[in-house]
Structure 1
Amino acid sequence: MVDTNNDNIYESGITQFSASEIKFKYNTSIAGTASTFQFVANQINEIHFYHSATNTDASTFNGNYTITCFSKDSDNDGVEDLFDLDSDNDGIPDLFDAYGKEITLLNTDTNSDGIDDVFNSITTNLDTDNDGIKNYLDVDADNDGIFDATEANHDKNISSNGVLITFTDINNNGLEDSLEGSSTLINYTILDSDADSIFNFTELDADNDACLDVFEAGFNDNDNNGILDTSTFDVNNNGKVINNSDGYTSPDLDYITSAPININTPFEDFTLCEETVGILTIDATADAYEWQLSTDNGNSFTTLSNNTIYSGTQTKDLQINNVLQSYNNHQFRVILSRAGNACNVTSNAVKITVNLKPEILNPVATILQCADDPSQNTIVNLTEAEINISNNSTNSFKYYKTETDAINDTAEITDKEHYPVTAGYAEAWVRTISEFDCYTISKIEINAAYVTDVDYDKTFESCDDFLDINGNDNVDNSDIDGITNFNFNAARQEIINKFPTAIQSDITVSFYKNADDRNAAVNPIIDISNYRNNSDPAYAYNQTIFIKIKNNNNNNCEGIGKLFLKTNTIPVFEVEGEAPNDPIIICAKNIPYNLEVKNPADDYNYVWRNENGTPIGGNSTSIQISDGGKYTVTAFSKDNTICENSKTIVVQKSGFDQLDEAFVKVIDDTTNSSSRFKYRN
């Protein structure tokens, strides 16, 4: 019970009373041990407690004295901390310093504890960096090497100890007057760069860009814990990190420049096709890129530079200029950087799978088409080429008029079954596409040809020669064997001339000894200008030559024909004195001597010549001579093909005054006779 008006009457039910002297006594209805009360004093130098007891036995008072706050002035500004709005004089009111967040007072005290009700639901008086110095007295509350005054951004000059250099406090509340607001506690906004309701000075990543403030400020943090590096960690009484090699200088503003480096869409494995241009793309908020390659399953990476293999190595799109099968399972990653963010971000590694492009049977597939008319205009079904392009049933095909269209996959041919061919030729391009959507580009050439049978049936004639069957000059010579050499070279061009001029250069004519060879297109006659009909006895005198005509643009289109060979016999006759038989000897008494043809097999024309080659006589079976020498008679057949046969007659004339020794034959017949024969000149 308390005597509230000093009338020595003690009232009950008093729960709170303030005075410089308080008189109270125990309520007799309550045991002393059950009585609870406290005295709270502020700004006092001493306290006196008087205990008196009357009309009772001696009693003992048991109580506790608690001193909750000493009279302390941490910043030596003449204002005790108890009343100092900024106990460390860093320009940040203790109200915010102790909590690290914005606080709005409710100006109510429902429980009458002398403290604003807002503090009933929050915890203040924090030591964010756990260095033993409470935030409101700590000039670097997060130990990142940046003074709280700098991070608060009130733009006042501070000392190397993190406190205001110039301090004016006319109202004696402990807060720099130039920072006080007219209607608010302060006239500036304490920075919360990432707007997460936590002030920068208590955050290790104030801009929330995943790069710690200490590093972005330009200071050392080799262990990446967000705290300024030291040789041995310690702080002074004001919470400033000591034993440090850097920090507490003007920081790089990257630490409050929000430039997060994020990968916007998943960076996943890529599938590429061999021998194509491959593009690897990363979608990120970076503005600088550095692509790296691993060929050892991610154990090590090397930085790429632009060359013949790679381009765009410093962009978001890495181009592999020619993807090779050997690149299969290579891994790539990207080092990402961004202005305003001092940290690089290394992406996850992605693997590329290189699928083989489809194998094709022929780089140029040919469609051969027979045209119905000499213009060689027709249509073809392009799909007929597929069997010559690929035998893989899983492949598909797309057709284009040009290679450029095939490369760019533009202007695909829609009516591939009715593709036009003009003047015997057309081309198209095809994409052969695998089940993995890889493709190979190849060409289709269409050759349309016109050719037909020819009605030639010409006969080439040649005279039987006086050689053996193989054309050699020897004892087996014969001019009645029906074997000789033929030149039917003119037939080739005469047959070609039967076709339109526009396609004559495409026509090939081949000649064969028999129909079987022609049908099989084997054993053609090579030299038709000097062909000898000696390969079969049946070819003597008369042989049929079989002809094959092809259009070079399409061997499937062909015509046939034939020509004939005829061996004409040479004139057959006899003469007296034919060399090398015995010569004819003429004497004076039988001059003029008559040379004549005997037993001619047919009616021939004749030419006689002397040994000088001068024609003598006329077209006659005989001539008269009066002198010795060599005389030649040539008989010519009267057929279309003129054959000839010449015979030489040796004539020797006997003199009247001298016996030619060549005509004397001496026989020694002395064997059985003793007679003697003498010869004298």
Structure 2
Amino acid sequence: MDYRDTFEGNFQVTDGDNNGIVGTGIPADADADGLADTNDPDSAGNILGGFGFNQDRDGDGVKNYLDIDIDNDGIIDNIEGQSTTGYIAPSGVDTDGDGLDNNYDVDNGGTGIGYTNTDGGSAPDYADTDSENDGIFDISENNIDNSIDAVLDADANGIIDPANFTDSDNDGLADIFDNVSGISTANNATNGDQSGVNGGAKTQPDTDPIGGDRDWRESSTQDNDGDGINDIVDLDDDNDGILDVDEDFNEDGDNNPRTNPSDKDGDGIPNYFDLDSDNDGITDYIEAGGTDDPKEMDNQEQVF
């Protein structure tokens, strides 16, 4: 309904006129068998064995052209395929019966979508696990708490691991993100109007920083220790010399200090941000042995 299958299923051949048909204009078909030469196994130079033809980009068992979330980050393709301010919701009407919603059908005055590419890289946003290339995967910047979805990406590649992926209705959107059951159900491709444009309850966050674009399209500014390294990728967010993973007690068992973080002294500051985690007035840096005072060490050696 939302995308031209030729774009999702065939990255290597440009649909120049955005009408959902291979190439620009009527595609060449030398042997008149109904298959465009670019996609005909009988034609030399076809792209059938290429990297972009009829792929399953996120490895979830659903081919791109049937998958409403081909990078498996929980942000549906209908949203990522368009700019935030220029978002166009589907009309639900297909006047010429070609399977393409009027609002995306250039033959009916619509606008072809799927080209928004925030970081200007090789993949458009809907196929990019880090749309703004800030080192933070989109799955960690969507509208689902990281304790629910990011923990399912154990190998930290921005995609839910196959072993943790469940998709009851086989639409390519993991069950933990899916608000609509059934591929043929109304509003399935928009996940029940997930965009919020028409009043949907599920909207994508704009919290870091507040204002501007959505978080997964705008580089995070959170840098607790001011070292120029974003907290999400910083191994020591308070620069006390103690790794964040060591400052967290891992009480939730996910080995991620940012989900359900430990707060030893109960002051509302997680240990990995807290310079004095036990609130005894002595900095964690000193208590962890960060300061080596030769005189003090001599005294300790004499005592022992």
TM (norm. structure 1) is 0.25
CA shift, 1:139, in A, is 1.8
Superposition pairs for residues 556-635 of structure 1, below 5 Å? none
In the alignment, what sits opposite 1:223?
152
Provide the rounded CA distance (Å) in 2 between the counterparts of 1:192 and 1:210. Answer: 16
Q: Which structure: larger Rg?
A: 1
Provide the rounded CA distance (Å) in 2 between the counterparts of 1:245 and 1:96. Answer: 24
Of 139, 160, 171, which aligns to 1:214?
Answer: 139
| Residues 1:234 and 2:166 are matched in the alignment | yes
Higher strand share: 1
Of 219, 226, 238, which aligns to 1:290?
Answer: 238
Runs of 5+ unmatched residues, structure 2: 16-22, 40-45, 180-190, 195-201, 206-213, 248-270, 296-304
8 A Cα contact 1:143 1:228, kept in partner: yes
Superposition pairs for residues 507-518 of structure 1, below 5 Å? none
In the alignment, what sits opposite 2:203?
250
For the structure 1 residues 117 and 193, does the alpha-carbon distance in structure 2 shift closer, same or farther, using more than 3 Å as the test?
farther
In the alignment, what sits opposite 2:7?
96
Provide the rounded CA distance (Å) in 2 between the counterparts of 1:98 and 1:298. Answer: 42
In the alignment, what sits opposite 1:142?
71
8 A Cα contact 1:101 1:197, kept in partner: no
Provide the rounded CA distance (Å) in 2 between the counterparts of 1:298 and 1:217. Answer: 23
Provide the rounded CA distance (Å) in 2 between the counterparts of 1:204 and 1:98. Answer: 18
Provide the rounded CA distance (Å) in 1 between the counterparts of 2:288 and 2:72. Answer: 49
| 1:182-202 alpha-carbon deviations (Å, 9 max, x no partner) | 799944453222221312222
For the structure 1 residues 245 and 355, does the alpha-carbon distance in structure 2 shift closer, same or farther, using more than 3 Å as the test?
farther
The structure with higher relative contact order (CA 8 Å, sep 6+) is 2
CA shift, 1:304, in A, is 0.7
Q: Which amino acid aligns with 2:170?
A: N
8 A Cα contact 1:145 1:227, kept in partner: no
Q: Which amino acid aligns with 2:275?
A: L
| 1:255-282 alpha-carbon deviations (Å, 9 max, x no partner) | 22234889xxxxxxxxxxxxxxxxx983
For the structure 1 residues 355 and 102, does the alpha-carbon distance in structure 2 shift closer, same or farther, using more than 3 Å as the test?
farther
For the structure 1 residues 250 and 244, does the alpha-carbon distance in structure 2 shift closer, same or farther, using more than 3 Å as the test?
closer
Runs of 5+ unmatched residues, structure 1: 1-88, 158-163, 263-279, 314-319, 321-325, 331-351, 357-681
8 A Cα contact 1:231 1:244, kept in partner: no
Query: Secondary structure, in 3 states, of the residue corresponding to 2:239?
Result: strand
Provide the rounded CA distance (Å) in 2 between the counterparts of 1:218 and 1:140. Answer: 14
Superposition pairs for residues 13-162 of structure 1, below 5 Å? 89=1, 91-99=2-10, 103-104=14-15, 105=23, 107-109=27-29, 114-119=34-39, 120-121=46-47, 122=50, 123-153=52-82, 155-157=87-89
Q: Indicate the RMSD between aligned Cα atoms, in angstroms.
A: 4.7
| Residues 1:168 and 2:93 are matched in the alignment | yes
| 1:338-370 alpha-carbon deviations (Å, 9 max, x no partner) | xxxxxxxxxxxxxx77799xxxxxxxxxxxxxx
Provide the rounded CA distance (Å) in 1 between the counterparts of 2:221 and 2:13. Answer: 25
CA shift, 1:211, in A, is 1.8
In the alignment, what sits opposite 2:125?
200
Higher helix share: 2
Of 90, 103, 106, which aligns to 1:181?
Answer: 106
CA shift, 1:179, in A, is 2.1
Length, aligned pairs only: 207
Provide the rounded CA distance (Å) in 1 between the counterparts of 2:141 and 2:64. Answer: 23
Query: Secondary structure, in 3 states, of the residue corresponding to 1:241?
Result: coil
In the alignment, what sits opposite 1:379?
none
Query: Secondary structure, in 3 states, of the residue corresponding to 2:238?
Result: strand
Q: Which amino acid aligns with 1:234?
A: T
Provide the rounded CA distance (Å) in 2 between the counterparts of 1:298 and 1:152. Answer: 35
CA shift, 1:118, in A, is 4.5
| 1:234-271 alpha-carbon deviations (Å, 9 max, x no partner) | 22133332266989632222122234889xxxxxxxxx
In the alignment, what sits opposite 1:380?
none
Query: Secondary structure, in 3 states, of the residue corresponding to 2:78?
Result: helix
CA shift, 1:293, in A, is 4.3
Q: Tell me the percent identity.
A: 22
Q: Which amino acid aligns with 2:7?
A: F
